[in-house]
A and B are shown apart, each in its own frame.
Chain A
Amino acid sequence: MTSKHRSAPRPRGWVWLVGLLAAAASVGCGGGRADHVIARRVEGELPRMDPVAAAWDDAPEFEATLQPQNVVAPQLAEGSVSRVRVRALHDGTWVAVRLEWDDATDDHNVTTSTFSDACAVQFPTGREVRPSPMMGNDGAPVDIVYFRAAWQTTDNMGELYPNMPPIYHPAEAAAEGEPREQMALQYQPATHAGNPTVVRPDGASVVAFSAAGFGSLSPTEGHFAVQGHGEYREGHWYVVLAREIGDASSAPLAPGQRTAVAVAIWNGSHGEVGSRKNRSDWLDLEIEGGGS
């Protein structure tokens, strides 16, 4: 503020009042800021694949702080993302979280030199016990919805190596069925093994995992469906991570519940991957009740 502003006459009391009322109204009927994450109920379509849909403007924003994971080796010595803006919406069957953070580079390919930008949200699986915020613990597992920018890159190899001449790959040339399977076993073992890093339903960029402690991340075998999508715009990532709420009678995410969510962000160009990540603590999450 310049001295000119500071020397300006103080606004009258009623101006403050109007300001306060306006702020309260913006939280009350959408948008604005909140002191915890509130998943607002939407009546129309839940933007499960659109992180910049207008509907997000109606969800209050909570700014979470992140810290580098420096408890378990390998650690992230220095964090690169310290703040993430969190919004949430639900429609009674699905809950969607939209993360927005600043990142100077759009890292959507992985090589030995570079990793992909990525993010994840994590939920406790029970209503009573709050698991460790660091991927849960034995007996208190967590559900994780994970997004990797590289998984939305359609031609990863073409982007990385534009001058690579066409190369004959026996696996691709083999006839469909048994011969190709055999070739894949030999030359594309991760594909053959159905590793979710390479084989995802409909090529989704979001995968559901569960974990009960560090190093225990494993696919959920479809016990809840997930969807999501990321968009990088002018130095910001906007990513929506959506999951099914599940059986409303027992799910901690059922409308009217207060539960928790934790966030992790990976900045690929900063060498962040796996346990080298920026993470939040548990954030209070309120699933707004009411409606049908």
Chain B
Amino acid sequence: MARVYNWQIGREMDYPYDEHRPERQWAGVFDINKCIACQTCTIACKTTWTSGPGQEHMFWNNVETKPYGFFPMGYDVRILDALGPQDWQGERYAGQTIFEAAPSGERILGWRPDDEDYAHPNLGEDEIKGRIDRGVAYAIPHESWMYYLARTCNHCTYPGCLASCPRQSIYKREEDGIVLVDQSRCRGYQECVRGCPYKKVFFNPHSGVSEKCIGCYPRFETGEVSACFAACIGKIRLQGWISKPDQAREDNPIDYLVHIRKVAVPFMPQLGLEPNLYYVPPIHVPDFFLRQMFGPTAPRAAETYRHVRDDVTLRGLFCLFGSTDRVFPRFRVDGDVAMALEEDGTEILRVPVTEPTIVRPETERLYQIRRVNTP
């Protein structure tokens, strides 16, 4: 095992291969507070990539309801349970990652779901954490809560899937960090299905080969965001490039959210994969749950988000979420205008940070109709 640095756990860790970061790293930020579980992203992905035989059960993008929704069944609680206590000392993870906790004779601590575990992709939809007694619904913060968690492959810096494959059939692209299963090399051993704690590699029983999210690389190569990002109705998603923390740039939208303002946090960082999807945590969920799911900095991220209204740059950047199909490597907020920029500073588009308020009369004179109060 090599020693590699994982900034998300604030320390070095064991990994089967040396540290090697790609030239640029694919990344995304999801604002959980805005997701409505419409599943448009899920369907965008399904129709684009997984409409073939043997792919019926696959959702490279899925949206589940937390805390009781999973896809596949129990994927997160099973690995958290297997890993045992996960202690943090401040922002340094003091427990074991799934590489460090690998049982003897294994490359990783993993488990393989049953076929049945994929059969109910949206079980637990809209289930809340507990029952609602009379009047409790009016109390803030809510005693009972739920939230939607949209997920794709994280195109991890230290992929568990890649680490578990005994044939080196999985590789991480140098140009964008996208993690792919080589479709001619894979022999369907499913070690990757076992090894990915997010269960984002799927076995195709028709071809006998494993398949996973390809980060829509044909789109990404032309500067367009992935299909699930483009389709997002709630405009909760922002796609781009993430730098290492010591190379973070103020004008890189992902860096700004993750490294500079620390309002977006990784999912289960303690597992050690350095996943590259970052979540603005839900502000109505108790801290203990946020910490378990998104690490020790999640409550602080939620706190920052609570005040986003008073934060000109942050607010401006959130207005750019879902505003364009182009990947924009830079942004600028100028007064009441937020701009998405190309690398060379060319403007892709601009949006108002404060939507203008227009008051219209209750009765439309021309048609002699009354307006209803629908925005």
Which chain A positions have C-beta within 8 A of B51? Answer: 169-171, 187
Question: What is the CA–CA distance of A197 and B190 in the complex, to the nearest angstrom?
Answer: 13
Shortest CB-to-CB span from B199 to chain A, Å, is 10
Chain A binding surface SS class = loop
**A contacts with B, residue count (CB < 8 A):** 42
A115 to B112, CA, bound (A): 12
Taking CB atoms, residues of chain B closer than 8 Å to A164 are 56
Say yes or no: A171 contacts B187, CB within 8 Å. no
Question: For window 29-57 of chain B, which residues contact chain A by CB distance below 8 Å?
Answer: 48-56
Contact among A72, A113, A197 with B115 in the assembled complex (CB-CB below 8 Å): A113
Bound-state Cα–Cα, A113 to B116, Å: 8
Q: A209 → chain B, closest Cβ, in Å?
A: 10
B205 with A157: CB separation less than 8 A:
yes
Question: What CA separation (Å) do A150 and B207 show in the bound complex?
Answer: 11
B233 within 8 A of A: no
Chain B residues positioned under 8 Å from A182 (CB to CB) = none
Whether the pair B166, A157 counts as a contact (CB closer than 8 A) is no
Taking CB atoms, residues of chain B closer than 8 Å to A167 are 53, 56
Q: Are A112 and B209 in contact (CB under 8 A)?
A: no
Cβ–Cβ < 8 Å partners of A115 in chain B: 190
- Which one of B52, B166, B168, B184 contacts A72 once the chains associate, using CB atoms below 8 Å? B166
**Closest B residue to A197 using CB positions:** B208
Alpha-carbon separation in the docked complex, A77 to B56 (Å): 33
Count of A-B contacts judged by CB separation below 8 Å:
121
Interface string of B160-174 (1 = CB under 8 A from A): 000010111000000
Known contacts: A74-B164, A112-B190. The answer to whether A197 contacts B209 by CB under 8 A is yes
Q: Please encode chain B, from 189 to 216, with 1 for each CB lying within 8 Å of some chain A CB and 0 for all others.
A: 1110100000000011111110100000
What is the bound-complex CA distance between A113 and B112, given in angstroms? 7
Assess whether A189 is interfacial by the CB under 8 Å rule. Answer: yes
Quick check: is A224 within 8 A (CB to CB) of the other chain?
no
B184 adjacent to A74 (CB under 8 Å): no
Shortest Cβ gap from A252 to chain B (Å): 26
C-alpha spacing A217/B186, complex, angstroms:
10
B288–chain A nearest beta-carbon distance, Å: 32
* Closest beta carbon of chain B to A177's beta carbon, Å: 18
- Most chain B CB within a 10 A radius of its CB, from A160, A191, A271: A191
Complex Cα gap A110–B193 (Å): 13
Docked pose: A151 CA to B55 CA in angstroms: 19
Distance between Cα atoms of A189 and B113 in the complex (Å): 23
Would A197 and B188 count as touching, CB distance under 8 A? yes
In the bound complex, do residue A73 and residue B106 qualify as a contact, i.e. CB atoms below 8 Å apart?
Answer: yes
24 A-B pairs within 8 Å (CB atoms) are namely A73-B107, A75-B105, A111-B203, A112-B115, A112-B118, A150-B208, A156-B206, A172-B53, A186-B52, A190-B186, A190-B204, A190-B207, A190-B209, A191-B207, A195-B184, A197-B186, A198-B207, A214-B166, A215-B166, A271-B112, A273-B190, A274-B166, A274-B191, A275-B166
Query: A interface vs B, CB < 8 Å?
Result: 70, 72-75, 77, 109-115, 150, 156-157, 160, 164, 167, 169-172, 186-195, 197-198, 214-215, 217, 271, 273-275
